[in-house]
C-alpha cells in the first residue's frame, strides 16, 4: 500500500506583492494548510520589542522556545501564540515590518524558525508563503511560485490596507520603507530574496487575486 505524501507549494515574493492573499485563497481552494512565514518573523520582532531582547539572540531564542507556539485553526491556517495569547493584532505595523526584516538576517533565528516551518507540513498539503520558502526552507517543493509587482502598486496596496484597518499611514513613508525592505531582503547574506530555481514568476501589478488564482490552478497539476 502506497503511503500518501503531503504536497508542498511555495509562494515567495516581494513585500506587499499580494503573495499572502494569493496563498490563502490557493490553500482554501485545495484544502491545504496555509503558512505565512512572515508572521513568524513579525512575531519575533514583536517579542524583541516588548521584551527588549533586540541585542541578545540567545535569550531571545530561549524565550521563543518557552513561550511561542505555532498552531493551526479550523481553517487550516497556522497562527502564532505567545504566552498562550494570539498576537496577530500586534504584528501589522511598519515598525514591526522593518524590524522583522532585520531579525530575519540572524542565522540562529532562521534556523530555529525553519524547524517550526518544517513541522507545518501535513496531509493533504501545505501552501507556504514568504521570501525563501522555495529556495531554502522547502527546496523540494512540488510547485514553486515567485510573485512580483511594481513598487508604486505595492505601496498603494499597503497604504490602503492600513487605512482600511483604521491606522494612520503615509504613502511616502510606506514607499521608502518598502524600498529599504527590498534592499535588505535581496542583499542579506543569509537566504537572500531570489526567485527559486524552477519557480514560475507572476507579476501581480495589474492582476487581481482571482485572475492570478485561475492562472495558478491551470499550471498546478495534482
Residue 22, domain member (yes or no): yes
Residue 11, domain member (yes or no): yes
Residue 94, domain member (yes or no): yes
Instruction: Per residue of the chain (222 residues), give pLDDT as tens.
Output: 456 899 999 999 998 999 999 999 999 999 999 999 999 999 999 999 999 998 889 999 999 999 999 999 999 999 999 999 999 999 988 789 888 888 888 999 999 999 999 999 999 999 999 999 999 999 999 999 999 999 999 999 999 988 998 888 999 999 998 998 898 888 888 888 999 999 999 999 999 999 999 999 999 875
Residue 218, domain member (yes or no): no
Residue 222, domain member (yes or no): no
| Cα–Cα dist 127/193, whole Å | 18
Domains identified in the chain, total number: 1
Residue 219, domain member (yes or no): no
163 is in which domain, residue-wise? 7-213
The distance from CA 128 to its chain's CA centroid, rounded to whole angstroms, is 7
Residue 220, domain member (yes or no): no
CATH number for the domain spanning 81: value is 3.40.50.300
Residue 177, domain member (yes or no): yes
Amino acid at each position: 500500500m502506497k503511503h500518501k505524501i503531503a504536497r508542498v507549494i511555495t509562494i515567495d515574493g516581494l513585500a506587499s506583492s499580494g503573495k499572502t492573499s494569493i496563498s490563502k485563497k490557493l490553500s482554501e481552494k485545495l484544502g491545504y494548510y496555509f503558512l505565512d512565514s512572515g508572521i513568524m518573523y513579525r512575531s519575533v520582532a514583536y517579542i524583541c520589542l516588548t521584551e527588549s531582547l533586540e541585542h541578545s539572540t540567545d535569550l531571545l531564542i530561549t524565550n521563543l522556545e518557552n513561550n511561542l507556539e505555532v498552531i493551526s485553526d479550523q481553517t487550516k491556517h497556522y497562527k502564532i501564540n505567545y504566552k498562550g495569547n494570539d498576537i496577530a493584532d500586534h504584528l501589522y505595523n511598519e515598525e514591526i515590518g522593518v524590524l522583522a526584516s532585520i531579525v530575519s538576517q540572524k542565522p540562529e533565528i532562521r534556523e530555529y524558525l525553519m524547524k517550526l516551518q518544517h513541522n507545518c507540513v501535513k496531509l493533504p498539503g501545505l501552501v507556504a508563503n514568504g521570501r525563501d520558502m522555495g529556495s531554502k526552507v522547502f527546496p523540494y517543493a512540488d510547485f514553486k511560485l515567485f510573485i512580483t509587482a511594481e513598487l508604486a502598486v505595492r505601496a498603494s496596496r499597503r497604504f490602503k490596507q492600513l487605512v482600511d484597518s483604521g491606522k494612520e499611514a503615509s504613502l511616502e513613508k510606506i514607499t521608502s520603507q518598502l524600498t529599504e525592505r527590498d534592499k535588505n531582503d535581496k542583499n542579506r547574506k543569509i537566504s537572500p530574496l531570489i526567485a527559486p530555481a524552477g519557480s514560475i514568476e507572476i507579476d501581480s501589478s495589474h492582476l487581481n487575486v482571482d485572475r492570478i488564482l485561475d492562472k495558478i490552478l491551470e499550471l498546478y497539476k495534482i
